[in-house]
Structure 1
């Protein structure tokens, strides 16, 4: 494609793909082969949106109660979405919520976990209609399947639904912003850090659990679900002495059933948040830390704005003379301060690049780094969106001519 469009690969400053080994492999992956062709300047960036998706996938798989919850959520969707039952579900909605437009349950996608918020968001307020649908079917031809789902949907399902409706709402906002075609790498890193520090860590330390528990109990009361639990009886199983001094992350065959507000907090809420924070740390602690710090030093919002020492790694990578850059940074800083005194506000990387563009002959190295900082792609969402559009056009064309 590059050769067909007469694009010089040597001008490539970055490349973004998903994390599949065929693309990201350090020995024979596409990114490695392309860097051999284009030069080491073509930095590989693992798509931020794909990373976020992998974070959620790992959270779901690592917490057993959550994995079971999403399996049940999908089973309800498949059962209710069949032609006959879907019509019954809509009728129940019209009866229970006459002033609201009936809604379909949202389809699940194993490859787009950040978008599961829509599924949780629709299902939570429609639980009464879902229950009435299952109860009516439990007396009909598909009684066994309906009765099985009714038996499985308990208070554990409700509190899990409330917790993930809240959590996925936060990740959905980040996912949507990461798909913006105007997003730069520094802004993407800032948004991930905001989710980690200002959203999830504060929720872990704050009192949001009380709010979520109260919401879940209100939903349970509306459905006539028991919220009070019987006291656990029987002897508590002890962990083998052979495991003394070791940290265990599984039940070791001793399945724990949450039986109180404290149990759900310890076995659901905290493990989900802790795993989410750990996965964010792991997935977004990439090899491009120095490059990200350099780009942040070009951002007017950064406390390290125009710190020449921090910009150095990026300058070295892209062949910029450090002495010349230091002089340009000092002069550009004075120029910006003078313009700000004239009420010309520069608050983003794009605005800074546009402001410096008329002065590119005087600041060639600085303008080069600003252009690269904007051009480096944090996600591959825009490209994948074009592929989806091409597939749709091809499908419609085949149907038209078929």
Structure 2
């Protein structure tokens, strides 16, 4: 049925791999194409067991599936994978191997995953930031290690809120002054780091109070852990980076959240990348004095001694007190941490969003109806054809295209009905492969794996593949997740 929908046309290939309950590597294949009515379709095509995840093995498995279904490999016009080396490698990665056979199968790395890698790399690229996130995780683990400490943290928050209300420092109202817990950051969702940092700033005093109680009443190693945690979070560097990272992540969080949306269009994504870089540069140029003042006020509010920023800074690697004495503490925090953190973030974003596929997407935005208020860029359409898809058009068609674009710019773009269009369907998404793995875990249970190992035969495999294809149908998968708790998969 899917092959009939494609009807010999061009299609994009979306691939990802994951391990199932029996620890077998499974590769999900999704095809993306225009149907005969001109709508973009995204179809789950198959789940294939592969012995390993080397690029050559994945390529052979993909080619086998496509050839069995009489799909022309030369019709591949796009590849969407994650950013691991076996997928995106320029020489031996899966995208490179397929591009050698299909030169117009351009690889587009998921924007959300690119940003995740850029933010994670920036957090590890500056020593002060790397130390900060290690200490932040340690503090959260110490305070949240037991329900008793969680209760102590809640009690300390309640006392602080009551005190601030009594001296008119807090407003009273619905949903205000909520009591919570310190948020743990997840590696795969960078936006969770903003919640983690923000929760510690909000609960800084209660956290310190809990740590002091553990130091006073605790025994053994936990007492030492609490002492180390308290010493870490009350240093000026930790508090400075805490506020610095909060402001940086507030700028990047909108881009993080937007790129996770299923219906995010590529035009808006590209604009958000550009505006994020501009805001980071603006923060670097204008925000130093305001950030330093904010950290100073925070220190005063929590009765912590403020260091003399004009005093000399001595690095840990200095061999004598005279080395590096030309640098003050202010210079260290401004240049070595503040500027370096923002520069590293900008460098990573520029690096992750500067490849050839970004130019392809930028040129494609010319066709988006949301650009009705901008001049139609017919030159970009011509460049798209001549640079990226030259073999899809013969010389006569290229000449005709230029004339057609002139008529299009006058006749279609200026038409009242054209201005009523909303958007070109979402482009270059790789989320369906992730949803196929979620459905796989619902169906391929431990009991089924045991049956598969002991009684595996061709009919069972065919039955499983048919059922999986039905479950991952885009029309039913959402409802399946909603009913997952009440549903049992028939054996």
Q: TM-score, normalised by structure 2?
A: 0.64
Alignment check: 8 A CA contact 1:306 1:329 kept: no
Could you list the runs of 5+ residues in structure 1 that have no partner in the other structure?
Answer: 241-253, 351-373
Structure 1 pair 237/122, CA: closer, same or farther in 2 (3 Å)?
closer
Corresponding residue number in structure 1 for 2:208: 131
- 3-state DSSP class of the match of 1:73? helix
Q: Name the residue aligned to 2:261.
A: 180
Determine the C-alpha separation between the residues in 1 that align with 2:119 and 2:244: 14
Distance 1:348 1:80 in 2: 49
Q: Does 1:205 align with 2:307?
A: no
Equivalent position of 1:367 in the other structure? none
Which range moved further: 287-296 or 80-89?
287-296
Find 1:150's aligned residue among 221, 230, 235: 230
- In 2: Cα distance, 1:287 partner to 1:81 partner: 45
Inter-partner Cα distance in structure 1 for 2:105 and 2:312: 63
Residue in 1 that maps onto 2:376: 306
Residue 41 of structure 1: aligned partner:
104
Secondary structure at the counterpart of residue 293 of structure 2? helix
Q: 1:71 aligns with which of 131, 134, 151?
A: 134
Shift of 1:311: 1.8
Is the alpha carbon distance of 1:184 and 1:6 closer, same or farther for their aligned partners in structure 2, counting shifts above 3 Å?
farther
Following superposition, the deviation at residue 395 of structure 1 comes to 7.4
SS for the counterpart of 1:97 is helix
Contact 1:296-1:305 within 8 A present in 2 as well: no
1:173: how far off? Answer: 0.9
Deviation, 1:40, is: 2.9
Alignment size in residue pairs: 359
Structure 2 residue 80 is matched with structure 1 residue 16:
yes
Aligned partner of residue 87 in structure 1, secondary structure: helix
Tell whether the 8 Å contact from 1:15 to 1:376 is kept in structure 2 after alignment. no
Matched-pair contact (CA < 8 Å) for 2:77–2:105: yes
How far apart, in 1, do the equivalents of 2:182 and 2:314 lie? 43
Deviations 1:164-219 (A, max 9, x none): 1111122121011112222233432222111112x11111222x222222222222
Tell me the alpha carbon deviations over residues 342-387 of structure 1, each in whole angstroms, 9 at most, x when there is no partner: 8x6358652xxxxxxxxxxxxxxxxxxxxxxx5641x534543553
Counterpart residue number, 1:380: 430
Q: 1:174 to 1:238 in 2, by over 3 A?
A: closer
Distance 2:295 2:107 in 1: 44
Q: Which of 1 and 2 has greater Rg?
A: 2
Question: Structure 1 residues 122, 393: closer, same or farther in 2, change over 3 A?
Answer: farther
Could you tell me how far 1:49 is from its partner in structure 2?
A: 1.5
Residues 130 and 235 of structure 1: CA distance in aligned 2, closer, same or farther (over 3 Å): closer
Using the TM superposition, give the Cα deviation of residue 123 of structure 1 relative to its aligned residue in structure 2, in angstroms.
1.2
Taking CA–CA contacts closer than 8 Å with sequence separation of 6 or more, which of the two structures ends up with the larger relative contact order?
1
Could you say which residue in structure 1 is the equivalent of 2:53? none
In the alignment, the residues of structure 1 paired with residue 306 and residue 70 of structure 2 have an alpha-carbon distance, to the nearest angstrom, of: 64
Which residue of 2 is the match for residue 324 of structure 1? Answer: 400
Check 1:77–1:396 CA distance in 2 against 1; reply closer, same or farther (3 A cut). Answer: farther
1:99-158 superposed Cα distances (whole Å, 9 cap, x missing partner)? 733212112223433431111111111101100001111112232111111112212111
Counterpart of 1:267?
A: 336
More strand by share: 2
- Work out which of the residue numbers 279, 295, 298 in structure 2 matches 1:216: 295
* Maintained 8 Å contact 1:114/1:168: yes
Q: RMSD across aligned C-alpha pairs, in angstroms?
A: 3.6
Are the structure 2 counterparts of residues 230 and 78 from structure 1 closer, same or farther at C-alpha, using a change threshold of 3 Å? same
Q: If the length of structure 1 is used for normalisation, what is the TM-score? A: 0.77
The 1:346/1:326 distance shift into structure 2, 3 A limit, reads farther
Q: Is the 8 A contact 1:296 1:302 kept in 2?
A: no
